[in-house]
Structure formats: C-alpha cells, structure tokens
Amino acid sequence: MDKDKSKALKKVLTPEFRVSFPQVYEPKSFNGSKEKFSCVMLFDKTKADLTALKKAVTAAAIERWGSKEKWPKGLKMPFKDGDEKSHLAGYEGMTVVTASSLQAPDVVGGKKGPDGRFPKITDASGDFYAGCYARATLIAFAYPKEGVKGISPGVSFSLQNIQKLRDGEQFSGRQEAESEFDDVEDDSDDEANYGSESSDTDSDDGY
C-alpha cells in the first residue's frame, strides 16, 4: 500500500460519542505503563456509523502484517461491547473505544471565535467532563513494534484532538447546585433561609 495513502486511511474523524473517563489535561499511568493522556469514547450502537474507524483499523493492520490471512491469531481490536460493562454509567448499548497519546490533545469548543479559531476548553473551566458529547481525530496504529516482546499484537487509536459538541448529564451523579438550592434572601438572619430543624436536640457528633 502506498505510504501516503496508508497514512490518510489511518487518520479518522469520529462520529459523535459520549465522553467517559477523560484524562485529557493530566497524563496518567495504568498498570505501570507510561503516563498517557486518554479518553474513553462511547458510541451509540443504534446511531453511530463506525465504518471509517473500522477502515482505519484495517489499514493499520494491513500496513503492519499484510493481507488479512497473515494477521496474528487473537489480534486485539479497539472496539469493545459496552453491555459487558453495563454497571458503568452510560455504557449499556454502546460500543466502547479508548484512545490515548503521550502528547496532550487540544480540546476545543464547537464554534469559531472572531479570530477564526476554535476556543480552547481548559481544565479550569470544567466544561469538558464525563457525560458531555464530543468528536475526535484519531490515528489507528498496530502494535507491538518490531522487536517488542511480551505484548499481544493488536490495533489501537492514538488520540489527536477533541471537539466538544454539546453538554450532557454528568456521569458523576452529582446534581447541579441550581437544582438543589433556592435563592437566599438578603436578610441572612431570616430562619426561612436555613430550613427547619429535624429534632429538638442538637447532635454532639459533629455532623
């Protein structure tokens, strides 16, 4: 396969996914591996077209091992069944794909500013979180590299950049403050601001 054509086939823009376990601002090590930036992507089985991602995986495998009949047995693929982890919020009915990188991805918003650039979403803003919806650019690659032993062969995705598309219910389960509190009146001494006591005696246990 032509090198330039192979490179083009391996790079892909994903359809919309729901964000899970985003580790895009600080790298993290898993099971003693190198620290990496990563994001778990949840694709709706009934809506998301993963054809481009699957073609990218095939292109990476062919580049590494040749035609399909030459691929190693038990080759690990990046597509997982979310129903097997239905105990995790948002995983049921989803195809799960994880992408990672040694370099931090750019995380941007959906609309360009006056300067013609997409605004970057920072960690401090809290606008990119588990439960929101996004899309990303990925590059499929085959592993292990030549000479690496003790690693089962497979194909995975390198995380490039992420664009947030819209908000969604956070997976943390924590409600927004607006849904839990009422407005406080200007008079801070007004007992109505503090609710009623649950009993006539105060607890001494500090809670």
Q: Give me the pLDDT at residue 203, please.
A: 39
The b-or-e profile of 50-68 (16+ CB within 10 A means b, else e) is beebeebbbbbbbbbbeee
Q: Where are the domains of the chain?
A: 3-171
The b-or-e profile of 3-31 (16+ CB within 10 A means b, else e) is eeeeeebbebebbebbbbebbbeebeeee
Q: What is the pLDDT of residues 12-68, one digit of tens each?
A: 999 999 999 999 999 999 877 899 999 999 999 999 999 999 999 999 999 999 999
The CATH homologous superfamily to which domain 3-171 belongs is Nucleic acid-binding proteins (2.40.50.140)
Please tell me which residue, 12 or 194, carries the higher pLDDT value. Answer: 12
Determine how many CB atoms are found less than 10 A away from the CB of residue 75: 16
User: At which residue do the structure tokens 């959906």 appear?
Assistant: 110
Q: Give me the pLDDT at residue 199, please.
A: 43
Q: Give me the pLDDT at residue 206, please.
A: 40
Q: Give me the pLDDT at residue 32, please.
A: 79
Average pLDDT over the chain, rounded to an integer: 86
Q: What is the pLDDT of residues 161-184, one digit of tens each?
A: 999 999 999 997 555 566 667 777
The pTM is what?
0.78
